[in-house]
Structure 1
């Protein structure tokens, strides 16, 4: 793109394409959550964060389109004489500069909104794991970074604040945003890189098919592109300070971040739509009861009789045996569970399907209907 700003048509085309993909993924995310949790009233906190973030992201794309039709106070000082002689152009540039202020805030809020969404999910998934301390440190770093960026934007880099839309501008930092861009890039890129490291130990310990693991790795690799887009955004900002090329990379960076935050939650919907197997080997209660050896060395047949006559164990002893069998197998069948549905959900290593897609930790416990075995219920209802 060089030293030439993107045309309004270029910005519109990219915005429409990226937003269309984003809205589809957002809708699929919400549908997946409802499938996993059983009701729209049982969404997680990060789902509400994503809803607000998506609205801000949409506002960002709209403001970019408006900004593309107006010049700003970002211009070569040599052109001041010609521009200031035209009151209409001066007013247009003042308006365009004010739009950029809103645009920058929407970009910041959408970026940090995605971080909040992902950190909230990581917080829940690692709650009883040693990794939880690392998530806490990242959360503090992200919060501090946001505070520093906001304070420096409003009170440090451009004073008085009205210089952001002044014509002519006294300090070029109020037009180029370069010092602000450096601060934003440092906290944004470093926190993204730190967050990208959270799923790695989870995936390494995950007990799942290679295809599922490869799928999750591909999704997480999009986070790398988000970092690359953030870097290229700043590269163009510094290489071509008098152009609006950075807006193209704003669209790409914000959109990719939205994609990653939504894609990691789509496994329940994919399983429902494409008919993926609901259970993995060893997740069938009746089969687990049949295959589990008894103390005497012979296979237990009580589960076979139970499976033929009814879909759930009828005695406390049978339920206890099933629970032990599942614990020994240490697998997750991918059925979403409700938060707080049983004590097992709070045990170390527990990961629910509504969280991070198909991750099945090696040290995971029983979820969903299996929790009901312990309390003597089925699907959360009394026997």
Structure 2
């Protein structure tokens, strides 16, 4: 649980090396926690993961060493540091795994309160009274190139609340969306779904909302009538709050951003497709890239993991590495539906070297090998009634 706290409260803190690579604080923290786990808990030897990791890392290193004329050593080291934890797994009981997911949901409930508090401040005394980490901490300790404070709409003197500790509001909205999805898949606590969903709209960021919408077919498959009624009530309550916030009026003008170069939506979802196609023009792009850390940066650039991998290391290496990540996600946790949601999130709303993306996948799925893969909803219901849930969990849940 220490890592879940670290990946939220310390998300903006890190060091930038001389060649531009960024080493967030949560990277060494993750290795400390995993190291403690290796000492006090018995790790599982997952041969498939080890082999997949070795092949993926070898392909990346060979591509860099053999073909790259210029590359960032820091970028390569950060890649290894962020994805090596995918190899580690610990045998975990369902109640312990569900306890960790509940903790994540509760943590996001806290940040939901922060969002509404930020709104209360800006609608009374003004957003400039928000606690601002950009002003409170030295710039040398802050991870750059993220829009920490941005207006709800251009020309308005009202800002999107970023939860104070998050890199930017889109990151906050994605984490809240993951909490909503966890509640739907595992716990079905519809009052909490409604509150988190309303907060998702209150961030005025589209990425989290888009994630929930895209994940809907996975979330509501094989849903009972009772569960469907609860979900429908939560959705209607959330939409009511969205209307009261004038969310649709304030955000619908952003729909045309997908077709406008330089806009946030275009940079997140259109530019990565075109940039991914460029390495395919030459035969060399199949097996070699332009070098680690050499893809264009600045502005609103936002490269999908597969795009950055293909451009910097080569398409073949990218496919190998991506297969390693997906294999680990599908093998871990206790719900394939949730694993697929994380794959969608990581693929299209995440980045290759932004630490919270791969490490969140580790913390919510890959580091757990659940001893029994029973129905997630039934297990969650039993877990809520269990006395064990009112005590501290064992093993990894205590970290």
**Could you tell me the TM-score, scaled by structure 2's length?**
0.23
Larger Rg: 1
**Could you tell me the TM-score, scaled by structure 1's length?**
0.24
